[in-house]
Amino acid sequence: MTGADRLAASAERRELALAYLAGHTVMSLSTYGRQGLWAAAVFYASDEFGLYFLSAGHTRHGQNLSDNPRVAATIQENYADWPAIQGIQLEGNVRLLSGDQRAAAIALYLAKFSFLQKATQTLQSQLEKVNWYRLTPDRLYFVDNSLGFGHRDEIELSMTDG
């Protein structure tokens, strides 16, 4: 495979990973803090490889995030046939958002989950009270078992992704 072929294949895998992120809604987030290891499923919206999610600060994963921003996460469907498995595995850092970044995250989230725009006033009020986060991956893999059991490609993350 020539250098140009490798570059094209890398760009194709990157686009597949971005499409997969955009086409899915839930990530399993793994945190570690004073309360130990924990995993929680959270809805997310993405902008390139940046993943935005919300959570109440009193939750176990919310407390862990305040102790330690380093996380791992997966995104996948519930596949019944292992050769069909595709998904994302990643590790990175989470930061609590405020100000304009928080407002931008909320707008992105509402665009992805449009049903929330019609939500009751109570639910909209609750969305204003929770913490909003950005997960910035520093390692990300696209899993595709159709290419072989356990096949995964590391996706090159550029500085503009974070």
Residue 110: CATH number of its domain: 2.30.110.10
Any domain includes 66: yes
Say what percent of the chain tops pLDDT 90. 65
CA 162/CA 159 separation, integer angstroms: 6
Domain, as residue range, for 84: 3-96+105-156
Tally the domains of the chain: 1
The identity of residue 63, as a single letter, is: Q
CA separation, residue 56 to residues 59, 116, 134, 145 (Å): 6, 17, 14, 35
Q: What is the pTM of this model?
A: 0.89
pLDDT of 111-139, one tens digit each?
Answer: 998 887 776 666 667 777 899 999 999 99
pLDDT at 34 over 60: yes
Any domain includes 71: yes
pLDDT of 42-69, one tens digit each?
Answer: 999 999 999 999 999 999 999 999 999 9
Q: Would the CA dihedral through 111, 118, 76, 93 be positive or negative?
A: positive
Any domain includes 162: no
CA 69/CA 51 separation, integer angstroms: 14
Q: Would the CA dihedral through 148, 28, 100, 33 be positive or negative?
A: negative
Any domain includes 45: yes
Q: Span 88-97, mean pLDDT? A: 97
